A and B are shown apart, each in its own frame.
Chain A
Amino acid sequence: MDKQQIRDAYELYWLENGTRPISVFTFCKKLDISEPDFYNEYSSFEAIEKDIWLYYFNKTVDQIQNDETYKRYTVREKLLTFYFVWVQTLKEHRSYILLHKKSLINYGVMQPKPDVLENFRKAFYEYVRNLIKEGYSTHEIKERKYISDKYVHGFWVQALFVLRYWLTDTSEKFEMTDAAIEKAVNLSFKLIIENTLDSLVDFGKFLFTKK
């Protein structure tokens, strides 16, 4: 049995029972596989849960990176596309995700570390880092001392924002999430392209040195 099958079975278990299996033993019994088989793929249920989120991410990226239009997009449009497709992917698993809503929402904005998202976060950082590099070369994103390193983190916070918005969205076809994505991404690019941020920093420096 491969990872994909175990993940699917695990999601299904949650959907039917609303909770984790009592033990790996009972889970394996239900799947009719041996415990060693299970441990060959995953070390724990936590590992499956982390991998599920990584899987959503990878599926999204695979889908968009093969798209001809996507390749021609600007960085901003690429990120927009990522979010739109990501949210589409998540939709197929919405029931499973909603069962974990509490733990996903209760994290503060400044502490973006729901454990279960850890693997996804790493992959997302990697993806966004590449986008940012591309943005530098196309002059879509301005490179700034000290601050540039924080861009990645900023986009991660944005991704969490989108996720939370979508979790609580009750609009038809989640159209409000679409609007939220559009606005959030446009705002972030406004900040990192134009001089707004520079002026702000400059002003801050001024206030600081004056004293």
Chain B
Amino acid sequence: MKEQSKIPTSKIERAGRFVSTGFKVGTNYLKHYTRKLVDPEIDKEDLHQENAEDIYETLSNLKGSALKVAQMLSMDRGMLPKAYSERFAMSQYSAPPLSGPLVINTFIKTLGKTPAQLFDKFEISAANAASIGQVHHAWKDGKKLAIKIQYPGVANSVRTDLRIVKPFAMRLVGMSKVDMDKYFDEIETRLLEETDYTLEFRRSVEVSDLCAYIPNLVFPKYYPELSSEKIITMDWLEGKHLKEFLEDRPSQEVRNKIGQALWDFYQFQVHQLKKVHADPHPGNFLMRNDGTVGVFDFGCIKEIPEDFYVNYFKLTEPEILKNDEERKQIYLNLEMIHPGDTPKEVAFFSQLFQKMIDLTTLPFTKKTFDFGNDAYFEEIYSYMEYISNLKEIRDSKNARGSRHSLYINRTYFGLYSLLNDLKANIITDKNRILDLTGG
């Protein structure tokens, strides 16, 4: 991996990068329309491809939270034209690493010893990059370890980054400023939490202990004496990231096993723990050919408030959906409609969101579900694209949807697209989790 020669830090410098992206994107549109004049057949996908590349380049140079937002955007695949999401999906894997001396310096400062003193062997060049840090291999007492090291100054730059990314995100996702403010506040809170490695360490141990009984899930052991506020040391997990894993053509049975483990993992968290690993991007899972999957990176945990939980999942119960009054109350509670809306607006948004919910919660209502069914996903994506292009949505002065739904939706979208890529056919019955917990 080529080491990044320079990370722009000051706000002006970062802004400069975005300006040049904006400029490039503008030029791409120009090019596109010129070409279109000559050849009316030309596809818009080309344009999206070029834009995506330029924006991705800019974001990956910024690292830190900008990269995180790129990940978020790539998460909600349906909200983006295909070219954007594929390009962004790359940001989930690699960002250029920081220098060896800085790594050593971080060890000395936070653990008082050099890596050479702490480990039998330590690989000074990073194995891969996480969005706010990088991962190194090391060996101690015959065990292979993974060590996550945070970039210095990350927490400081979160706010600045988000402020700069906001207008871009608005344009990419096609959301109004009011909506964005509400959601960016939520994103900022989560991102700041992610820079807190002490918190992450505590959560990692806690959640992996609680989920340990779920079949086919593998969690690393964490080492407190080798971890600090900038460093987290855990067992190295073998396995492959989704894309490489699929290249080996694993059998349907193996893919089902992994898919089932992931589904159980998320159902258990959402319904029992009421807090969830809200970062289900492929980089956080390592899959093996025996049908097990390694899970790590608990930096992003969304705690689900009780009233939100109750309202959100009521919408999946057919009985409640039949009662119009009750339904309306739930929409109000979830901020999908507002007390000030006209009856026309209420009717319009209600049917819009209910259709969305019906679509996305379909697997919950079945005993088993085949996530390999591409038609299902096409339907979701095209419906989402339809919604995001609606004039009424774009012009809406009110934010629609609670801030909590942001990470919950993101979690489910992430999970769904993982399952879709796995083409997993799994048991989605509600009682599955109860059966597993033996209650």
Contacts and interface: CB of A to CB of B under 8 A. Distances in A.
By CB atoms of chain B within 10 A, which of A171, A186, A187 has the most? Answer: A186
Nearest to A182: B102
B153 A69 contact: no
Interface stretch (B93-101, B205-213, B333-341): B93-101
A104 interface: no
B362 interface: no
A171 B156 contact: yes
Contacts of A176: 152-153, 156
A84 interface: yes
A178 B116 contact: no
Interface residues of A, number: 22
A186 B99 contact: yes
A147 B152 CA distance: 33
Nearest to B3: A186
Interface residues of B, number: 24
B110 interface: yes
Given A183-B6, A186-B5, A77 B152 contact: no
B109 interface: yes
Interface string A166-186: 000001010110110111011
Interface in A162-206: 171, 173, 175-176, 178-179, 181-183, 185-187, 189-190
Contacts of B106: 178
Contacts of B99: 76-77, 80, 182, 185-186
B105 A178 contact: yes
Contact of B101 (A84, A179, A189): A84
A179 B9 contact: yes
Contacts of A58: none
Contact of B98 (A182, A187, A189): A182
A81 interface: yes
A178 B102 contact: yes
A69 B5 contact: no
Contacts of A84: 101-102, 104-105
B153 A171 contact: yes
B109 A77 contact: no
A154 B220 CA distance: 47
B153 A190 contact: no
B327 to A, nearest CB: 50
B290 to A, nearest CB: 38
Interface string B113-128: 0101000000010000
- If over half of B's interface residues share one DSSP class (helix, strand or loop), that class is named, otherwise mixed; here it is loop
Nearest to B151: A179
Contacts of A190: 5-6
A186 B156 contact: no
B104 A69 contact: yes
A178 to B, nearest CB: 4
A73 interface: yes
Interface string B39-59: 000000000000000000000
Interface in B1-59: 4-7, 9
Central interface residue in B7, B99, B101, B108, by most chain A CB within 10 Å = B101
Contacts of B98: 182
A197 to B, nearest CB: 14
Main secondary structure of the interface of A (DSSP, over half): helix
Contacts of A69: 100, 104, 114, 116, 124
Contacts of A182: 7, 98-99, 102, 152
A186 B105 CA distance: 16
Nearest to B150: A175
A4 interface: no
Nearest to B7: A183
Interface in B54-86: none
A88 B156 CA distance: 21
A179 B6 contact: no
A103 B134 CA distance: 39
A182 B5 CA distance: 9
B101 A175 contact: no
Contacts of A80: 99-102
Nearest to A179: B153
Contacts of B6: 183, 186-187, 190
Contact of B152 (A179, A186, A189): A179
Nearest to B109: A173
Nearest to A187: B6
A175 B157 CA distance: 12
A176 B9 CA distance: 10
A15 to B, nearest CB: 24
18 contacts: A69-B104, A81-B101, A81-B104, A84-B102, A88-B108, A173-B109, A175-B152, A175-B230, A176-B153, A176-B156, A178-B102, A178-B105, A178-B106, A178-B152, A179-B153, A182-B152, A183-B7, A186-B6
Interface of A: 69, 73, 76-77, 80-81, 84, 88, 171, 173, 175-176, 178-179, 181-183, 185-187, 189-190
Given A77-B100, A183-B6, A190-B6, 18 more contacts: A69-B124, A73-B101, A81-B101, A88-B108, A173-B109, A175-B230, A176-B156, A178-B105, A178-B109, A179-B9, A179-B151, A179-B152, A181-B102, A182-B7, A182-B99, A185-B99, A186-B4, A187-B5
Shortest beta-carbon contacts, A-B, top 7? A80-B101, A179-B153, A175-B152, A84-B105, A81-B101, A178-B152, A179-B152
